[in-house]
Structure 1
Amino acid sequence: MGLKKKAILLDIEGTTTSISFVKDVLFPYVKTHLESYLNKNWNTDEMKLDIKLLAEQADQDIVNNVPGVVPVKETESEQALKQSIISNVLWQMSLDRKTKALKTLQGHIWLDGYNDGQLVGHIYPDVFPCLLKWKDAGLKLYIYSSGSVAAQKLLFKHTEHGDLLHLFSGFFDTGVGPKVESTSYRNILNEVSCDPDQVVFLTDIVKEAEAANVSGITPILLVRDGPLSSTSQFTQVSSFDQIDVECS
């Protein structure tokens, strides 16, 4: 007898998608295409907004005395501004920051990569058939990732199985709160109009599982690489096809 639920909330990195895809494909793509992207899109309204967000974030970092912050001054010459943007973005990426300014620009660069076929969203082989099965069974599927909603949609729109966006009922990023805080999951529950015991959360991060558990959601830990832990209080699986969930 499977778990009786109404919805499945899914993490991305290490859960639906290889961590190496993000670390070894998406992030390097931004670094190698950043300058050419700036040159190509410099005079667009979208680029001007991206620059404004980066400048505001840099100003805030300066106020907060963030070590190593690279100023972004919109009053600089074009070449100086471009160089400061490049330096700021690379600095933020070196710290694996999750700022809105950085995530927004990364998303726009990735969009170019997906549209021209240089990027294809990775999902594990067991994920696609299980998503189809759960969707067909009447379960609502949602994504919750630290990556922006825009980046999440890009990944699932451009997979080797084609556009999978139709399988999902919603997407959440850290706009609802950090993934290690239980209030974030309560915010999601309010958004999807579900009681806690109606939702299962799939993640590879123990602290996220703990936060979801505090909110009343049932967590399942994905252990894609390495042995299962004998000390974890949560159910552990190495692939989606080991998860037995039925629509209540």
Structure 2
Amino acid sequence: MAASELPDLSPIRRVVLDIEGTTTPISFVADVLFPYARDNVRSHLAATYGSSEETRADVALLRAQVEEDLAQGVDGAVPIPADGEGVAVVVEALAVNVEAMIRADRKVTALKQLQGRIWRRGFHSGELRSEVYDDAAEALRRWRAKAYIYSSGSREAQRLIFANTAAHGDIRDHLCGFFDTTIGPKREVSSYYEIWQTLGTDRPSQILFLTDVYQEATAAKAAGLEVLISIRPGNAPLPDNHGFPTITSFAQISI
């Protein structure tokens, strides 16, 4: 099948969408969301450390992730002192690790959960407004009761993005649910098998997955899902002869 030809999508019963590079410009995530989290991590942790159950949970996840990173020699990982060393010292070590994870674009739950908490403040204060492609927003309206999100960002972060779009307002009503890396990494076949089991279609091929990442497309296809790759400005180039049908707009999809 030529990459420009779309398969027969009439059997599709559910649609699962990536965010970055698919529904939303990569530039918004890389140039707005990531810097906001980086610039506000210290103030967020300092303000909530010791007083917020959410932050206690976030710090516990970060400590566990950093211990694993140190054991594996991950670049940028530094030890996190015990709480008895003082809040300022602990917060600084946490922030240094978070900054290293952001630079490396790590897809780990410890980072993504904390980023979601920080972005919440930005969206609620009005400092942040998200970008969703016009064709994606219109397609979500057409696909109501069929569409789900699967992103490495936390489910909270996903909801914030679709609740606070600059051009379309709150479009969460057009989505049925959200998956993040707690169901599994996006480049592993088992993650898509779990999504199929959760959505409950008769066959995995009744689920359409849209992504801009070749490795994710390969994993989803191996699990039996139908796959289209999204071509958007700023997306990474695909391998030659990648073999997947591609789209440049959701308007090309009829289901």
Is TM > 0.5 for Structure 1 vs Structure 2?
yes
Q: Secondary structure of 1:75's match?
A: helix
1:4-153 alignment, distance < 5 Å: 4=10, 5-45=12-52, 46-73=54-81, 74-135=83-144, 140-153=146-159
8 A Cα contact 1:2 1:244, kept in partner: no
Q: Please, what TM-score do these two structures have when normalized by structure 1? A: 0.89
State whether residues 109 and 182 of structure 2, in contact with CA within 8 Å, keep that contact through their aligned partners in structure 1: no
What is the aligned partner in structure 1 of residue 232 from structure 2? 224
Once residues 240 and 100 of structure 2 are traced to their aligned partners in structure 1, the CA distance between those partners, rounded to angstroms, is 39
**Residue 188 of structure 1: aligned partner:** 195
**CA deviation map 1:129-161 (0-9, x unaligned):** 1110122xxx51111111111211111111122
- Are 2:184 and 1:177 equivalent residues in the alignment? yes
1:3 and 1:50 map into 2 onto residues whose CA distance is 41
Length-normalised TM-score, structure 2: 0.87
Q: How far did 1:244 drift? A: 1.7
- Of 159, 165, 178, which residue of structure 1 is paired with 2:165? 159
RMSD, aligned α-carbons: 2.1
1:153-190 deviation per Cα after TM superposition (whole angstroms, max 9, x unaligned): 11111112222222111111122222222221111000
1:51, distance to aligned residue in structure 2 (A): 2.2
Say if 1:228 and 1:236, in contact at 8 Å, map to a contact too: no
Question: Equivalent residue of 2:84, what SS?
Answer: coil
Amino acid corresponding to residue 33 of structure 1 in structure 2: N
Query: Identity over aligned residues, as a percent?
Result: 41
Instruction: Report the number of matched residues.
Output: 242
In the other structure, the counterpart of 1:200 is 208
CA contact (8 A) 2:58 2:114 kept: yes
Deviates more, 1:50-59 or 1:115-124: 50-59
The 1:20/1:84 distance shift into structure 2, 3 A limit, reads same
Instruction: Provide closer, same or farther for how the CA distance between residues 166 and 66 of structure 1 changes in structure 2, counting only shifts above 3 A.
Output: same
State whether residues 214 and 238 of structure 2, in contact with CA within 8 Å, keep that contact through their aligned partners in structure 1: no
1:193: Cα distance to partner?
0.1
Distance 1:68 1:40, change over 3 A: closer
CA offset digits 1:52-94 (Å, max 9, x no partner): 2222222232333334421112231122112112212112212
Name the CA distance, whole Å, in 1 between partners of 2:136 and 2:104: 30
After TM superposition, give the deviation of residue 230 of structure 1 in Å: 7.7
Paired amino acid for 1:69: A
Q: CA deviation at 1:48?
A: 2.7
